[in-house]
Amino acid sequence: MPATGTAIRAVVFDLDDTLFRERDYVLSGFRAVAEHLGRPEEFTRWMWRRFQAGRRGDTFDALSEHFGLGLSRADIAALVELYRAHVPRLRPCRGVIELLRALRRRGRRLGLLSDGYLPAQRLKLSALGLEGFFHAVVFTEELARQGPPAARNRGRGPHQAWKPSAVGFERIRRRLGVPHRACAYVGDNPAKDFLAPNELGWLTVQWRRPGQLHADNPPPPGGKPWRIVRSGPELLRLLGHPRRT
Ligand SMILES: [Mg+2]
């Protein structure tokens, strides 16, 4: 439970399914791969149907098998690379730009803390055109070689600083120049977004919207968000207020 009576001075956001629809990115990536394979409409439609039916893994293997493409391991790996390196077409969710603008007007420091593969995460942020709002941006993938892994992430190699590691939260707090108790984290995925900031004394908020992919993931012990909101204005009422109540 976060301390009460402390002003929130910094608001840090997750990226995927918090500021934009993760589904839009998936569709955009499928399209890039399908175009590369020379059958844009047919392959995109097939992969998207499979995704919407809840089958989210090994998409390119399944595509190869279904259409008899005979893709090798190396071919599949190249498609995964192509997916992660494609320039996506994305736009922020409704209310995001207004919220970021309003929080800045109220003097909040703004941060972005995101897991995920580089360069995909950079390309997403760039496609959204939101970089100018943030005083600090931390991609946890970049922190992998900077210091020992947190105990709970040992053995995760380049992903050792991914959430629920606290490393990224520590780093961005330092860069924003405010104490932990004056920070809030806004995310979408209870399985990994809120455990570390809860432990550090941050205020944690889950922003729920229809169509999110991970909103109903169960939280680990201690990983429940402190609040759940469903719109930008609701979030602004919570975080734009001068005091925690
Ligand atoms: Mg997310």
Q: Which residues pair with 13 in a beta bridge?
A: 112, 186
Alpha helices in 112-242 (DSSP H): 120-128, 167-176, 195-200, 232-239
How high is the mean pLDDT of the chain?
Answer: 92
Centre of ligand 1 from the C-alpha of residue 68, in Å: 34
Centre of ligand 1 from the C-alpha of residue 189, in Å: 6
Could you report the per-residue pLDDT of 7-24, keeping only the tens digit for each?
Answer: 899 999 999 999 999 999
Residue 134 has pLDDT above 80, yes or no: yes
pLDDT score, position 142: 86
Residue 44 has pLDDT above 50, yes or no: yes
Furthest C-alpha separation in the chain: 62
Rounded to the nearest 10 degrees, the angle between the axes of helix 22-36 and helix 40-52 is 150
pLDDT grade for 155, boundaries at 50, 70 and 90: low
Could you report the per-residue pLDDT of 103-133, keeping only the tens digit for each?
Answer: 999 999 999 999 988 899 999 999 999 999 9
pLDDT grade for 157, boundaries at 50, 70 and 90: low
pLDDT grade for 184, boundaries at 50, 70 and 90: very high
pLDDT score, position 164: 86
**Please, are residues 114 and 131 in contact by the beta-carbon 8 Å criterion?**
no
Centre of ligand 1 from the C-alpha of residue 67, in Å: 32
Question: Token digits for 68?
Answer: 């008899």
Alpha helices in the chain (DSSP H): 22-36, 40-52, 59-67, 73-85, 96-105, 120-128, 167-176, 195-200, 232-239
pLDDT score, position 116: 86
Centre of ligand 1 from the C-alpha of residue 4, in Å: 26
Whose tokens are 């279904």? That residue is 66
Residue 147 has pLDDT above 60, yes or no: no
Centre of ligand 1 from the C-alpha of residue 134, in Å: 17
Q: Which amino acid belongs to residue 231? A: S
The Cα 131–Cα 105 span in angstroms is 16
* DSSP one-letter string for 113-150: EE-S-TTHHHHHHHHHT-GGG-SEEEEGGGGTTSSPPP
Provide mean pLDDT across the span 25-37.
Answer: 98
Residue 244 has pLDDT above 70, yes or no: no
> Closest Cα to residue 58, out of 45, 70, 74, 47?
47
The Cα 237–Cα 192 span in angstroms is 25
pLDDT score, position 240: 76
Provide mean pLDDT across the span 44-53.
Answer: 97
Centre of ligand 1 from the C-alpha of residue 117, in Å: 13
pLDDT score, position 245: 47
Other residues' Cβ atoms within 10 Å of the Cβ of residue 36: 15
The Cα 166–Cα 18 span in angstroms is 19
pLDDT score, position 145: 57
> Closest Cα to residue 130, out of 162, 160, 168, 104?
104
Could you report the per-residue pLDDT of 191-229, keeping only the tens digit for each?
Answer: 999 999 999 999 999 999 999 999 999 999 999 999 999
Centre of ligand 1 from the C-alpha of residue 17, in Å: 5
Percentage of the chain modeled with pLDDT above 90:
82
Centre of ligand 1 from the C-alpha of residue 193, in Å: 8
For residues 3 and 120, the model is more confident at 120
pLDDT score, position 158: 64
Centre of ligand 1 from the C-alpha of residue 71, in Å: 31
Other residues' Cβ atoms within 10 Å of the Cβ of residue 98: 13
